Every structure is written in C-alpha cells, then in structure tokens.
Amino acid sequence: MKFVHMADMHFDAPFTVLNSKNQLGEKRRLEQRDAFKKIINYIKENDIKYFFISGDLYEHEYIRETTISYINSLFEQIPDTKIFISPGNHDPNILDSMYQKFKWNNNVKIFSSKLEIVENEQIDIYGFGFNDFYCRNSQIENIQIKNKDKINILITHGSLDSGSEINKEYNPMSKNKLKELGFDYIALGHIHKLDYNTEENQRIVFPGSTLSLGFDELGKHGVIVGDISKENIKLNFLQIDTKEFKEKYIDVTSIISIEELIEQINNIPEEENIFYKIILTGKRNFEIDIYNLFKFILNEKIIKIKDETQINIDIEKASQEINLKGIFLKEILNDIEKNNIEKNMAEKIIEMGLELLK
C-alpha cells in the first residue's frame, strides 16, 4: 500500500516573527495553501490511496472557516483517497472545533480520544486524537492488535521518550513500548523535526512540520511518502516547503564600529527562498542596539538578529587599575553583587559607563 504521511501544518498560524518584516507572515499563510495543494496534486498524480495527517493541521485559536473550506475542497479532488486525521494539541477535536462544526468530505475520517479501528480487507488503521489541549494518558501503549496478518497502521499525535516535563503533557509515549505493539507503521506528529530512516527498518516516523514555522525549525520540510507491505517498507522524504530558514554567525571581535557591522550584514548575499537569522558572537568593541541596527539592514531576507557577544574587556582586571575607569568598575561590580544584577544587564551598564568615560 502507498501512502503520504504529513503532520504539523498549523494552518493560519500567526507567524509573529515574520510579520515584523513586510507582512511576511501573511505571505507564509498563502504558502501553506500552495504547499497543501502540492501535496494533493502529488497524491492525485501518483494514485496514492491513503493520506495520514498526524495532528496540528490547523491552529484552533486562529483558524478561519474559509481556510477549512479550502482544505476540504482539495480533499474533494481526491475522492478515491482515504484521508485519516488524528487531531493534536493545537487542533483538538473539541465541541467548538472545525472538526465538529464543519461538514467534511466523505473520504475524511477524523479520530477522537476514543481509540478507533477502521478495518479494510487487508489493512487495519488505528487512530487516536486529542479531545483537549493536553493529553497525559492515552493508553496507546496498551493497544492489542486484532489481526496481525493484516497491515496495521497507527496514527496519532504526541511526544516520544521525552524527558521534558512540558512534553509529558502531550501524549507521552515510549518508543520501545510502541515497537512491542507490532504495528507495521506508526504515523506520528507533534515533533517538528523530521525523523525517518535513522535506523534500519524504521516504522515509527515523525515527518516534521510540513512548512517551517521559524528559526527553531531549520532545514528542509515536507512529507513522508511510503510504500509498505507485511514484509517490506520503503520511505522517502518529499520536500514541500520552498523556503528555508538559516542561521548565519558573524564574529564581531575584529569589527571596530557599528557602521562596519552594518556594512558586513548588508553584504550578505540575498539568496532566493532563504530567510536569515543573524547571530552576533565574539567580543564587541562598541555598543550594539539590535532595534536601531535593524533600521539600517537592507536585506529583507534577514528576519532576526540575536546578540550573543560579550564586552571586549577583562572587567576584573580593569577594576584593579588606579584610575577613573578602575574606580567606576569596582563600584559597579559591588552593585552587581549586592543587587544580583543579571549578566547581560550588568554588561550593558558597564558598556554605557565606559562609553561616557571616553
């Protein structure tokens, strides 16, 4: 059986960071629609009979009915494809959700928090969805497969082997226990990083977010295309996102002025379909104000700048000098210790004071 597995599209997400630059967030929402159309066309052209959507298809708080109508209109174009949706923590199957308010096409199956099995002649599909924004104990690890002679698929949304207390709120599962269940394929969502073919004969898969939602989701994004039988499994990654988020580091240690830094940032090549986050590192020789710096950046693909630099001075050593600078630093260090001032704030105070002393 051939299938497409996607997750975490987050339709109508606000894209707050991107909106700070020329309404790129709104453009990104349009790109979500284009990406989904690309997936549907692929399914149509390759005669894919099964389409698995493992949660967070949309953002409950922001979703518009027009967006759902658009999604459903595309589902209508593949009437012979069975579509299975397992709602996640951002699109739970609750009373006022679009899953319950909207009339979906006949080929769409939306799972609830009560484990369901859709039985076909050769394939059984098990599904579990969120019915709240949190899910702490789904009991998925206790599933008993009815017929092991068939191809058995599990579709759900949740975290895997998470040591994080936060992720324990979102359907925590053990990879080893899932393996013991005996499913031929487990289609997961929630983790936005692609995880497939990282081990031999891998059958527990995260496709990652379909489109990158920001700089914490670097690299390529898309869907998994699979072909599975009882004996074999073949998985491929199909890139859907035409944009890519990248980080670029600039060491400011040898840069002597804010003007030189601006010039260096503006000389970064403007690559098509790339969004940049600039990370400043090293020892700075001048004050860096990110807000003011942005005013002079010409490259509109630079969305974010992060300052990880340190002041270019040995503060402890300089505080021992018998001069005005040494007296100033000694007093500041005493105040920092007494008032427990946070490091970045302390460095800013020292930097501004030294600038005034010049």
The per-residue pLDDT for range 226-236, each reduced to its tens digit, is: 999 988 999 99
- Does residue 169 sit in the same domain as residue 312? no
Write the pLDDT tens digit of every residue in 271-323.
888 989 999 999 988 888 999 999 999 988 898 999 999 887 767 776 777 77
Residue 262: Cβ-neighbour burial (10 angstroms; 0-12, 13-18, 19+): middle
- Does residue 184 sit in the same domain as residue 324? no
Write the pLDDT tens digit of every residue in 216-229.
899 899 999 999 99
- Does residue 60 sit in the same domain as residue 46? yes
- Does residue 230 sit in the same domain as residue 252? no
Mean pLDDT of all residues belonging to the chain: 90
Q: Residue 354 — pLDDT band, cuts 50, 70, 90? A: low
User: Strand, helix or coil at 14?
Assistant: coil
Q: Model-level pTM?
A: 0.84
- Of 239, 260, 289, the one marking the end of a domain is 239
Angstrom CA distances, 178 to 119, 310, 317, stand at 20, 46, 57
- Does residue 134 sit in the same domain as residue 32? yes
- Of 180, 210, 239, the one marking the end of a domain is 239
User: How many domains is the chain partitioned into structurally?
Assistant: 2
Residue owning tokens 């453009």: 27
Q: Which domain holds residue 300?
A: 244-357
For residue 242, pLDDT over 80 is answered with yes
Write the pLDDT tens digit of every residue in 153-184.
999 999 998 766 777 899 999 999 999 999 99
- Does residue 59 sit in the same domain as residue 199? yes
Give 264-293 as a 3 state SS string: HHHCCCCCCCEEEEEEEECEECCCCCHHHH
- Does residue 85 sit in the same domain as residue 195? yes
Question: Residue type at 194?
Answer: L
- Does residue 179 sit in the same domain as residue 83? yes
Question: Residue type at 97?
Answer: S
- Counting residues of the chain whose pLDDT is more than 90, the rounded percentage is 67
Are 39 and 223 contacting, i.e. CB atoms less than 8 angstroms apart? yes
- Does residue 257 sit in the same domain as residue 326? yes
Name the CA dihedral angle for 278, 279, 285, 287, rounded to a multiple of 10 degrees: 70
For residue 17, pLDDT over 90 is answered with no
Which pLDDT value is given to residue 337?
74
Q: What is the CATH number of the domain that holds 110?
A: 3.60.21.10
Higher pLDDT, 104 or 322: 104
Residue 343: Cβ-neighbour burial (10 angstroms; 0-12, 13-18, 19+): exposed
- Of 179, 212, 239, the one marking the end of a domain is 239
- Does residue 136 sit in the same domain as residue 214? yes
For residue 14, pLDDT over 70 is answered with yes
Taking Cα atoms as reference points, which of 338, 314, 335 lies closest to residue 326?
314
